[in-house]
Amino acid sequence: MKYFNRNHRIHWARRCDFINLRICSGFSSIFTSLILFLLTLTTTESLIAQNLLDIEHSRKYGQYLFETRQYKLAIEEWERVLFFSPGDDTARYQLIRALNLGNDYNEARLQIKRIFPDPVSMPGKYAIEYSKALLIMDSVKSATEIIRDNRFLSTSDRLFLQFHLDLNTDWDKARKAYGLEKETYLKLDNRYGDIIHQIDSRKIKSPALAAALSTIVPGSGKIYAGNWKDGLISLFFVGATSFQAIRGYNLYGPKSGFFISYSAIASAFYLGNIYGSFKAAKRHNDKSKKKIQESIGVVFLDHL
Determine contact, residues 129/112, Cβ cutoff 8 Å.
yes
Where does the pLDDT of residue 43 fall: very low under 50, low under 70, confident under 90, or very high at 90 and above? very low
Exposure on the CB side of residue 22, measured as CA atoms within 13 A: 6
- State if pTM tops 0.85: no
Rounded Cα–Cα distance for residues 233 and 13 (Å): 111
Mean of pLDDT over the chain? 82
Task: Enter the DSSP assignment of 253.
Answer: -
Q: What pLDDT is attached to residue 55?
A: 80
State mean pLDDT over 19-41: 51
Residue 92 is inside which H or E element, if any? helix 89-101
Alpha helices in 150-256 (DSSP H): 155-169, 171-180, 182-188, 191-201, 207-216, 220-224, 228-252
Neighbours of 56 (CB within 10 A): 9
What percent of the chain clears pLDDT 90, i.e. is strictly above it? 42
In this prediction, residue 160 has a pLDDT band, given cuts at 50, 70 and 90, of confident
Residue 76 has pLDDT above 70, yes or no: yes
- How many helices and strands in the chain, by DSSP H and E? 15, 0
CA 67 – CA 30 distance, rounded (Å): 48
- The residue with greater pLDDT, 7 or 260, is 260
Distance set, CA 296 to CA 172, 237, 299 (Å): 15, 41, 5
**Cα separation, 126 vs 131, whole angstroms:** 8
Range 142-157 average pLDDT:
90
Q: Give the pLDDT score at 225.
A: 92
DSSP annotation of 205: P
241-261 residue pLDDT tens: 999 999 988 988 888 889 899
Mean pLDDT of 133-145: 88
Segment 23-41 mean pLDDT? 52
